Copies of this chain bind each other. A is one copy, B any other.
Amino acid sequence: MQTKIVTIGDEILIGQITDTNSAWLGRRLNAAGIKVAEIISIQDNKEQIKKTLDKALNECEIVLVTGGLGPTKDDITKTCLAELFSCELVRDDKTYRFLETMLKERSIEFNELNRSQASVPSCCTVLPNSNGTAPGMWFERGGHVLVSMPGVPFEMKMLFEEEVLPRLKRYFSLKTIVHKTAITFGLPESILAETIASWENTLPRYIRLAYLPNPNGIRLRLSAYEMDGTAVAAEIDRRFDELQTIIPDYFLGFDDATIESSLAGMLLRHKKTLSVAESCTGGSIAQRFTAMAGASDYFLGGVVSYSNEMKENILHVSHETLVKYGAVSEQVACQMAEGIRRITSSDYSIATTGIAGPTGGTDEKPVGTVWMAIATPEGTFAEKRIFGHLREQNIARATSFATNMLRMHILSSEKKK
């Protein structure tokens, strides 16, 4: 079954927003056994919209459209759909009453622009959007389906889960796709590929391997299409079990696993707590842990000690050490880690201090130099890396590297037991 995702909006083509909806839809559709053949982003242009949607609907059983449904003049998707399906825009009473109530609750005036959100092409089935003003619309033509959804990500997601996916499941008989992805961190792609080459070569032909590198590690995805789902899933699990014995230290887990989720799992399993002291990562480590639900079970908190005064006054880094070795040094990283561990009485701590850039580097300590330390019941350990010259990347890499130091430490402690 062919499926196409079409996202509409000049803001995507000029790069003012990144289209995150398509990736999310791709993930959800795959999980449901619907394979996406193509994602296409086009402009707020009537001819291009009509032509692209018409072609997509001829070629594909399912066409999912996002964007262009706002109340303002540049949003023309609805008009295009009415013309494409040769019908009039009419007021949908249920949507009208919903909008009236919602805007009243939020103390927003129900003006002409908002009222226009209740107009829909007469030939569509309206899909109620409980989180916003633009409803979804379901169209059918010759056994093919086109669904129009708002572009605001959380509105689109709720509408898809609540209204679109259940209808697609009923309308089409779906084939099984099995995907599973192992997350690795710490081996460059070429070395990883060489290390697991013999494992890769023994994979059965119906299972495909893909390498997906990103700054947070290299992901290995095994996929099988249109097979018996249960048997294939079991076979993929067995293959990944083998893989894990080949690269145990570099194996973070599956699917959405990250260095921090893997470490969080270890801390919960051992009933241990964590605190952080961040200089160059500026809150990024804390932010990654607290983004995960349930963080308060092991994460006590942290200090972002951007100034030397905070390093001294709150973390009790010694003034002499700061003067003698400088803020970006092994000694300061260790004292930061030990300081926050002592203050919070946490079992473990992570600390970073470095020069994120773009300025602030010296010959001895160029931009990208970062000292990272962990304080543990087994002692304090520090490592230095020189990452690069881009601020954003230096912060991201130091965050991953420092977190991984603690993960590797606990992993090796587990093995010793």
Interface residues as binary, A1-29 with B (CB distance below 8 Å gives 1, 0 otherwise):
00000000011111111111011111111
Main secondary structure of the interface of A (DSSP, over half): mixed
Determine the chain B residues whose CB is within 8 A of the CB of A108 once the complex forms.
Answer: 188, 190-191
Determine the chain B residues whose CB is within 8 A of the CB of A223 once the complex forms.
Answer: 10, 14
**A395, CB-defined interface residue at 8 Å:** yes
CA distance A343 to B390 in the complex (A): 32
- Asked whether A310 lies within 8 Å of B300 as measured between CB atoms, the reply is yes
- Contacts A15-B27, A38-B40 given; does A303 touch B295 at CB 8 Å: no
> Chain B's nearest CB lies how many Å from the CB of A220?
10
- Asked whether B291 lies within 8 Å of A296 as measured between CB atoms, the reply is no
- Asked whether B291 lies within 8 Å of A282 as measured between CB atoms, the reply is yes
**A371, CB-defined interface residue at 8 Å:** no
Most buried by B among A39, A213, A301, A303: A301
Determine the chain B residues whose CB is within 8 A of the CB of A293 once the complex forms.
Answer: 357-359, 391
**A290, CB-defined interface residue at 8 Å:** yes
**A42, CB-defined interface residue at 8 Å:** yes
Determine the chain B residues whose CB is within 8 A of the CB of A242 once the complex forms.
Answer: none
- Contacts A11-B221, A74-B210, A210-B44 given; does A286 touch B282 at CB 8 Å: yes
Total interface residues on A, CB under 8 Å, equals 107
- Asked whether B14 lies within 8 Å of A30 as measured between CB atoms, the reply is yes
Determine the chain B residues whose CB is within 8 A of the CB of A345 once the complex forms.
Answer: 309
Determine the chain B residues whose CB is within 8 A of the CB of A109 once the complex forms.
Answer: 190-191, 194
Which residue of B is nearest A399, CB measured? Answer: B287
CA distance A211 to B208 in the complex (A): 43
CA distance A75 to B309 in the complex (A): 51
- Asked whether B284 lies within 8 Å of A113 as measured between CB atoms, the reply is no
**A239, CB-defined interface residue at 8 Å:** no
Determine the chain B residues whose CB is within 8 A of the CB of A395 once the complex forms.
Answer: 290-291
- Asked whether A19 lies within 8 Å of B23 as measured between CB atoms, the reply is yes
- Asked whether B113 lies within 8 Å of A194 as measured between CB atoms, the reply is yes
Which residues on A are within 8 Å of B, measured CB to CB? 10-20, 22-30, 35-44, 48, 70-75, 103, 106, 108-109, 111, 113-114, 133, 152, 154, 179, 181, 188-191, 193-194, 200, 208-214, 219, 221, 223, 276, 278, 281-287, 289-291, 293-296, 299-307, 309-310, 313-314, 343-345, 356-359, 390-393, 395
25 pairs from A and B in contact (CB 8 Å cutoff): A10-B223, A12-B26, A14-B27, A15-B26, A17-B214, A18-B18, A18-B19, A37-B48, A71-B190, A72-B189, A73-B209, A103-B190, A108-B190, A109-B191, A276-B304, A278-B283, A283-B302, A284-B290, A286-B306, A293-B358, A300-B307, A300-B310, A301-B310, A302-B303, A307-B344
